[in-house]
Copies of this chain bind each other. A is one copy, B any other.
Amino acid sequence: MQNDNLKQEKPAAHKGRPREFDTEEALDKALHVFWRKGYEGTSLSDLTDAMGISRPSLYAAFGNKEELFRLALDRYAEHGPGAIQRQALSEPTARRVVERLLRGVAETLTDPCNPRGCLAVQGALSCGEAAEQVKAELCSRRSKSEAALAERFERAKQEGDLGKAVDPAALARFVVTITQGMSVQAAGGASRTDLLAVADMALLAWPSSA
């Protein structure tokens, strides 16, 4: 585990034959396939075709189908639409957090460059035994998102930004439920305008509107 990249020029200078494809690029292709077809609906051939690499290359670089999915999911959460949540959480008030979250979700779910809907929702909502672990992973990630939002509301409550009667966990669940519903709507072909209208309507329920 010694740190041997002393000269930081070029990635590293590996020993053997260098990889002929860009890992990030290939992962991005894989992400899009999973996103569009779901975990079970995506075959190895779908993946290798889209990534432009051979099957053994895929296994050498990414492990197997499930590990590849997890890597794609990580990428989705960091560089893709999953990043909205993080951005939203940094807004100054709870209300602004929700506004940004709902509108941001409405927009990214209907981004014409991407498949419709959310990978964390459609990736494996229900599935056979073979995909149970993937399904569990997605459930866990959704729960974590929800928990992070609840925590943010908790803080807002302490800051006096949210009424004392508000239940942060329940409010977070409500907001997340809307985003998940929007994901289903997007998968069904709802337009950006449609989803933004849903977001606005949800904001009417905001506790501090009184």
Q: Please report A residues at the B interface, Cβ cutoff 8 Å.
A: 35-38, 40-43, 46, 115, 117, 121-123, 125-128, 131, 139, 142-143, 167, 170-171, 173-174, 176-185, 187-190, 194, 197-198, 201-202, 204-205, 207
Between A41, A121, A176, A178, the greatest number of chain B beta carbons within 10 A of the residue's beta carbon is seen for A41
CB distance A122 to B128 under 8 Å?
A: no
When distances are taken between beta carbons in the complex, the residues of chain B under 8 Å from A171 are 201
In Å, the complex CA distance between A101 and B187 comes to: 22
Which of A126, A139, A167, A189 is most buried by chain B, counting CB atoms within 10 A of its CB?
A: A126
B contact residues around A42 at 8 Å (CB):
128
CA distance A145 to B39 in the complex (A): 28
B36-A139 in contact (CB<8A): no
- 14 sampled A-B residue pairs with Cβ under 8 A: A37-B128, A40-B41, A41-B127, A121-B125, A121-B184, A125-B125, A142-B184, A143-B188, A171-B201, A176-B181, A180-B181, A181-B184, A201-B205, A204-B205
- CB contacts (< 8 Å) of A174 on chain B: these are 197-198, 201-202
A173 contacts B190, C-beta separation under 8 Å:
yes
Cα(A8)–Cα(B178), bound, Å? 51
8 Å CB contact of A41 from B37, B131, B201: B131
Chain B residues positioned under 8 Å from A183 (CB to CB) = 184
